[in-house]
Amino acid sequence: MSDPARGDVDAVARRLGRLRSRIRGAGGDDTVQIVAVTKGFGRWAVDVALELGLRRVGENYAQELLAKVDPARDVVGRGPEWHFIGRLQRNKVRTIAPYVALWQSVDRLRVGREIATRAPGAAVLVQLNLSGEEHKGGCDWEEAPELVGALGEEGLQVRGLMGVGPAGPAEAARTPFRRLVQLADELDLPIRSIGMSEDLEVAVEEGATMVRVGRELFGPRPTAG
Ligand SMILES: *Cc1c(COP(=O)(O)O)cnc(C)c1O
């Protein structure tokens, strides 16, 4: 087991500095939580994130998460806090349940029930579909309050709402981000996970408590997933 390469750590450290100043520039403070999205990058990205004090690491695919979990290094209390942020398939929940600290992309009760079975009492976010694009996942606005209630009845801890802004100019995300934050207020949910590399400022301005950032930290993504 080797430590991450010095050059990688230095490069990501510089980008992290820039990311933090973007967050501050948008009116955010140190309480805005950064999830380092390592999808498409190798295990090195997880190790670099940890070395820089970024414990929260986001993955989209069960297979990729499993390939990156390293029992030798991921010591409880010092290892990464894995966040699952991709489309959830019910039949994959079991395989990753031992590792996932926050399920960010719960968008239907069937998946929630499976999580409640495999990881009783787990912390989850409800993902909203902000773009109207079916394939991006997320539940409809009208369904969200009921889903939040039903997941609670399954014994899950619903901590907040998550959303992916629409493709295109960052400004297009402002209205849906604002609406998500309002709904989180109404439902008394503390976590608002919105904002990625491209629409970070808009998300922070609208009240993000958590941003999910990949390319802005690790550089261009080498593969599609
Ligand atoms: C890939 C991804 C991100 C990070 O995207 P970047 O453009 O690399 O910052 C954040 N959230 C979700 C749901 C993603 O799939």
pLDDT in tens, 17-49: 999 999 999 999 999 999 999 999 999 999 999
* Ligand 1 atom 13: residue of nearest CA: 85
Please tell me the distance between residue 214's alpha carbon and the centre of ligand 1 in angstroms: 6
Please tell me the distance between residue 213's alpha carbon and the centre of ligand 1 in angstroms: 6
Query: Amino acid identity of 137?
Result: G
- pLDDT at position 4: 84
Q: Which atom of ligand 1 is nearest to the CA of 162?
A: 13
19 lines ligand 1 (CB under 6 A): no
Pick from 64, 127, 196, 199 the residue to mutate for probing ligand 1's pocket: most ligand atoms within 8 Å of its CB.
Answer: 196
Q: Which two tokens stand for residue 193?
A: 């996970």
Which residue, 206, 155, 205, 212, is CA-closest to 184?
A: 206
CB 65 within 8 A of CB 84: yes
pLDDT in tens, 127-171: 999 988 877 799 999 999 999 999 999 999 999 999 999 989 999
Q: Which atom of ligand 1 is nearest to the CA of 215?
A: 8
pTM score of the predicted model: 0.96
208 lines ligand 1 (CB under 6 A): no
pLDDT in tens, 167-203: 899 999 999 999 999 999 999 999 999 999 999 999 9
Cβ partners under 8 Å of residue 157, min gap 6 = 121, 122, 123, 124
Measured between alpha carbons, how far is 181 from 196 in angstroms, rounded to an integer?
Answer: 16
* Ligand 1 atom 12: residue of nearest CA: 85
Q: Where are the alpha helices (DSSP H) in 32-108?
A: 43-51, 62-68, 93-96
210 lines ligand 1 (CB under 6 A): no
Query: Amino acid identity of 5?
Result: A
Q: Tokens 């349940």 identify what position?
A: 97
- pLDDT at position 223: 64
The pLDDT confidence band at residue 7, using thresholds 50, 70 and 90, is: confident
The pLDDT confidence band at residue 224, using thresholds 50, 70 and 90, is: low
164 lines ligand 1 (CB under 6 A): yes
CB count within 10 Å of CB 14 equals: 10
Q: For residue 87, give the 3-state DSSP assignment.
A: coil
214 lines ligand 1 (CB under 6 A): yes
Cβ partners under 8 Å of residue 67, min gap 6 = 43
pLDDT at 225 over 50: no
Half-sphere exposure of 72 (CA within 13 A, CB side): 5
Return the exposure string of 109-139: e unless at least 16 CB atoms fall within 10 Å of the residue's CB, then b.
bebbbbbbeebeebbbbbbbbbbeeeebbbb
Half-sphere exposure of 110 (CA within 13 A, CB side): 6
83 lines ligand 1 (CB under 6 A): no
pLDDT in tens, 106-130: 999 999 999 999 999 999 999 999 9
pLDDT at 2 over 70: no
